[in-house]
Structure formats: structure tokens, C-alpha cells
Homo-oligomer: A and B are copies of this chain.
Amino acid sequence: MVVDASEVARRLAPRLAARAGEYDRAGAFPVEDFAELRDAGLFGLMVPGRLGGVGAGFAEYVAVAYELARGNGATALVFNMHASVTGALSAVTEELAEALGVPDAALAARDKLLADAAAGSWYAVAMSERGAGSRLSQLSTVYEAVDGGYHLKGAKSFCSGAGHADAYLVAARSAADPAVVSQFLVPATLEGLHVEPTWDSLGMRATSSHDLHLDVTVGRDTLLGGVEGLALVVAQLMPHWMVASYAAVYVGVARAAVDAAVEHVTARGLAGLPAIRSRIGRAEASVAAARLVVAEAARRVDEAPGDPETNRWVWRAKLLAGTTAAEVAASMLEAAGTSATRRGHPLERLYRDARCGSLHPPTSDVCADWLGVAALGGDPDREGSAPRW
């Protein structure tokens, strides 16, 4: 059983770091990292204690993600997806379930999959689609009711952990009514589920964020919540999982970049150069600030989920984590110099990984727009000069 999850993650991080270069180079899924996460009980991080898990809140998740990302950002990013699924499901209270009309059988199914997570299963998210991005309103994957369950058909992209997860949370649109978007937890072993290895990326190369092709029939109990059409509702109720769960990962990556630069310039006797000191001083302050912002957002998510001010912190966290990571890693590479650009040097990888934070939807530009609209008294989820999702 896990006692202090972030301490556990801190102890794992150096082991992840030692393997990160190789997984990055090969663009291979960090199988060993995930075995260790499982063994350490972290798959149950967000699962309530009554189901065998740690019962962590968002703040504790954030602390764990930060520590894991100091080891390997890609591993932390895939873990984030599993945490999102289990965290969001765990956060559905009895009151909410009742309000949404969730039947008892669906709650039992939910508990089952959470208990499975605590016992060592993990889940990936298959939401994005080429063209639609992560906008639920634009999905082309459809489902229809069939005898004993549902048939799902479509293709997903950017599915982190594809080929390795035990099940996939798949968002799909009803063939009968396109306005209805539902989510299913599709077991990985099903016939008709095919991973196309498309992921070959600038950064976060070890996430195996491949394409997933679906032409599957699933049981009725795989419909999350047991009622169709809950996907958009849950997304709106828990923007932190959609907007800011990456944030902690990118702050961890940024911190790893500072640490790597300190180690590099110290080893080469460059620590006395004023320009290098200045770069490192500014970088470490930025990282400390971003970490604080992410922690504050998380604290508020736990204390006042859905509150407008909570949501603003969530968007600030996404914005600042993404911009800080990219700027810090670029500056640290410049502090360290050409020798740190060799493949295999941690900064070479961290520079590429760090660039990706601002690009995850909602991108930094979208975050700035959202926050601007909010500050100007508008409704940032509805107004704006860029599509939100």
C-alpha cells in the first residue's frame, strides 16, 4: 500500500531518468517504468481507499506527476491519462450520479474498473481525432446500440499508451443523435481494435501516442455512467483533468532541465560565468513560480471544484507551465552550449519534450484568450477568438 505517493514518485524518478534517453531514442513505450509504477501501487493513486486505492486528491496527483516528470516527462504524461480517467470517475459523487441519472449498475461497473486499477490495470484515453483535435463536438467516431451493447467505429489519434494500456476510454458520437457524445471503456483485448504506430514526434517520444482504429462491439457495462450523453457534462464539470493535468508534467520537465544544466556547467567548470549564472537564476525562479501556480490550482480544485476562480487557476496553470517549460529548456540549452545538443544528453531530450507543453490543447494562445475573456468579464467557455477545444 502506498503511504506518501509523491515520496514514492520521488524515489522512482532517478530510475525513470536513467532509462529516459533510451526510450526517447527508440520512441518506445517505457515498459519498465510502468511496471514499476504498478508495483509501487501508483495505478490506484486516484482510486478511493474503499476500493483499494490511495484515494488521492488533485493536489496529490499534481505532486506525483511533477516528481515522475523530473524522471521522464513521457512516462508522466501517459500516467496523467490514466490518472485522468480514474480521477474523474472517482470524483463522481453519489449526488452527482443521482443528478445525472446514473443507474446503480453503472456505479458498480465504475467501482469495478477502479478496483481493477488499484489492482494493477491502467487505462488510456482515446479522445482526439485527426481534424477534430480534442474537440468533443467535432468527433467522427460513432457508436450505435446493438444487441447486448454498442458498436463503435472510427479512428483516434494521439492516444498515449496505445498498445500498452489495459483499456481505452473512447469518446464517440451517437449515430442516432449526433448531439449525444458518450464515453466507453473499451478493453484492449477486443477483436476489432487496431493500433497503428504513427507516433514519431519531436518530443515526448516515449508516450506511444499512436492512432487507434476501432470497429468493435462492447458490452453495455462499458458505457461510462450507464447513460448516453454524459461526456460533455463531465468535461465541463472537471476542466482540470482536460486543461491542467499536463501542467505538473511540464513543470517537472522544466525543473529537470534546470537540474541538468546545473550538473552540466558544474562538471565543465563553467559555473563561474556570469551569463550562465544569470540564465540559471532566472530559470530556477520561473520554475519555482510555475510549480507554485500548478499547486495552487490543484489545491483549489480539491477545495472548490468548478468554482470560477478555481477554473481560472486551472487555465493559468496550463498557460504558465507550457510557456515556462519551453523558455526554460531553451535557455538552459543555451547555458550549457553545443556539447549538450548531442543525442543522449538529457538537455537534448528535455529541450524537445519541453516544447510540447504549450501545444497540447488548449494551446498557450487559447489559454491567453480564455483568461483574457474571463478577466474582461466575459464567459470564456463561450466567447473568444479561437476555438476552445
- Chain A residues with CB under 8 Å of chain B are 158, 198, 200-203, 258, 262, 265-266, 271, 273-282, 284-286, 288-290, 292-293, 296, 312-313, 315-316, 319-320, 326, 330, 333-334, 337-338, 341-344, 348, 351-352, 355-356, 358-361, 363-378, 384-386
Check A277 against B376 for contact (C-beta < 8 Å).
yes
Name the distance in Å between A277's Cβ and chain B's nearest Cβ. Answer: 3
| A290 to chain B: closest residue by CB | B289
Check B271 against A342 for contact (C-beta < 8 Å).
no
**Chain B contacts of A202 at CB under 8 A?**
341-343, 348, 351-352
Name the distance in Å between A132's Cβ and chain B's nearest Cβ. Answer: 12
**Chain B contacts of A277 at CB under 8 A?**
368-369, 372-373, 376, 384-385
Check A316 against B341 for contact (C-beta < 8 Å).
no
The residue that A280 contacts in the complex, of B158, B313, B372, B385, with Cβ under 8 A, is B372
Check B279 against A372 for contact (C-beta < 8 Å).
yes
Take A341-B355, A355-B341 as given contacts and tell me if A282 and B363 are in contact as well, using a CB distance cutoff of 8 Å.
no
Which among A262, A316, A333 has the highest number of chain B CB atoms within 10 Å?
Answer: A316
Q: How far is the CA of A361 from the CA of B341 in the complex (A)?
A: 14
**Chain B contacts of A315 at CB under 8 A?**
285
Check A365 against B316 for contact (C-beta < 8 Å).
no
Grouping DSSP codes into helix (H, G, I), strand (E, B) and loop, the A interface class, with mixed when no group exceeds half, is helix
Take A274-B275, A274-B385, A351-B355 as given contacts and tell me if A258 and B375 are in contact as well, using a CB distance cutoff of 8 Å.
yes
Which among A276, A284, A289, A312 has the highest number of chain B CB atoms within 10 Å?
Answer: A289
| A361 to chain B: closest residue by CB | B338
Check A293 against B284 for contact (C-beta < 8 Å).
no
**Chain B contacts of A201 at CB under 8 A?**
341-343, 348
6 A-B pairs with least C-beta separation? A277-B372, A281-B372, A281-B371, A274-B274, A275-B365, A274-B385
Which among A279, A360, A368 has the highest number of chain B CB atoms within 10 Å?
Answer: A368
